[in-house]
């Protein structure tokens, strides 16, 4: 895609009950682009069907313009935020909002969603025949509600043509930074990330899996730190070591993992696959070397794990997700 005009519009679409961070996170990224690029880049607008004041799920009032009075332009980036299940359901049923999105989708440079905003895009038919991401806890529901959408539960954000969808909440920031990088280059995107004091920029292919597991553990649950230990010690990590780090017996650890929909062995394997995915796309390490670093022991075991988790081998995954391949699409 060509770089945007000197000032392009970012249309952030909200509704009552919208998730605050779904709006504020991408909004701050695009608003900071001008400072990082040292020129006017994006004009950010907060819009809703009918306009007026809208309240986020946290009760924060948002003053919005009337989306229905906005004529889509080819340089626009549209961002549909997510929210509570009830709030999103109301947005899915809003004929005015869906009608505007159907008209704007073929015109705008990009149409994007954050978190459960994917449900709104799907209701408008803009995700038909496409891959999409949403919050890890809503992937199954999105796939069931909209079977014409291929839901990717193993991604922070997904790009399919000019449609971008991000996973849960803060991943909207990752997606917005990737959009800025596409428009203005990596230096600008990294400058924004540093200004926002982000610990790290996450690529779209990074799995939600570990974040989902940690999110399901309370602050007092020792499994969260045990998972973090496994991620940092993939060569040595095993079920017995995970149990020791969690301070649990093997039987208790197994029960705890079952409550999360997995087993201790599968948990460790998934964390290893997550790291291998990152290395495959960020390095040129041979698969055999990479397998050893991630604790698989052999390329054959790594390949079996990839095929089980992702439906493809590591070499096919590297071809599909390597930066050169992504830029060529």
Which tens digit of pLDDT belongs to each residue from 203-255?
554 555 554 455 445 555 677 788 888 888 999 999 999 999 989 999 999 99
- pLDDT-derived band at 310 (thresholds 50, 70, 90) equals confident
pTM of the model: 0.68
Confidence of residue 59 (pLDDT cuts 50, 70, 90): very high
Q: In this model, does residue 89 exceed pLDDT 90?
A: yes
Strand partners, 163: 111, 160
Residue 58 — pLDDT band, cuts 50, 70, 90? very high
If you count them, how many residues does the chain have? 329
- Please, what are the domains in the chain? 8-195 (3.40.50.880), 209-328 (1.10.10.60)
- Spatial strand order of the sheet with 157-160 comes to 52-55, 61-66, 42-48, 8-13, 77-80, 110-113, 163-166, 157-160
DSSP state of 219: T
- 321 pLDDT band (50/70/90 cuts)? low
Give me the helices (H) in 51-116, please: 85-92, 95-104
Reading the block at residue 130, the tokens are 């496409």
Strands 157-160 and 42-48: unpaired
How do beta strands 77-80 and 110-113 pair?
Answer: parallel
């Amino acid at each position: 895609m060509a770089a945007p005009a000197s000032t392009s519009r970012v249309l952030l679409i909200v509704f009552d009950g919208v998730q605050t961070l779904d709006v504020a996170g991408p909004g701050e990224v695009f608003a900071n682009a001008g400072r990082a690029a040292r020129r006017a880049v994006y004009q950010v607008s907060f819009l809703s069907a009918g306009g007026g004041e809208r309240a986020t799920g946290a009760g924060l009032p948002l003053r919005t313009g009337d989306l229905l009075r906005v004529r889509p332009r080819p340089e626009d980036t549209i961002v549909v935020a997510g929210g509570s299940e009830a709030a999103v359901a109301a947005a899915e049923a809003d004929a005015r909002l869906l009608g505007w999105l159907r008209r704007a989708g073929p015109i705008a440079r990009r149409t994007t969603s954050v978190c459960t905003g994917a449900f709104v895009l799907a209701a408008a038919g803009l995700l038909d025949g496409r891959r999409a991401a949403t919050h890890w806890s809503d992937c199954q529901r999105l796939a069931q509600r909209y079977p014409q959408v291929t839901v990717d539960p193993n991604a922070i954000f997904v790009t399919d043509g000019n449609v971008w969808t991000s996973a849960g909440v803060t991943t909207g920031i990752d997606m917005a930074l990737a959009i800025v990088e596409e428009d203005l280059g990596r230096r600008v995107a990294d400058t924004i990330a540093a200004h926002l004091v982000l610990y790290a920029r996450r690529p779209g292919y990074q799995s939600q899996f570990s974040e989902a597991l940690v999110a399901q553990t309370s602050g007092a649950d020792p499994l969260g730190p045990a998972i973090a230990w496994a991620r940092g010690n993939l060569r040595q990590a095993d079920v017995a070591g995970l149990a020791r780090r969690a301070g649990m017996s093997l039987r208790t650890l197994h029960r705890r993992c079952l409550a999360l929909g997995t087993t201790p062995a599968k948990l460790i394997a998934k964390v290893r696959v997550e790291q291998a995915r990152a290395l495959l796309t960020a390095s040129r390490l041979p698969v055999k070397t990479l397998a050893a670093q991630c604790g698989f022991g052999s390329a054959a075991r790594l390949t079996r794990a990839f095929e089980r988790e992702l439906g493809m081998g590591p070499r096919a995954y590297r071809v599909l997700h390597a930066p050169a391949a992504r830029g060529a699409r």
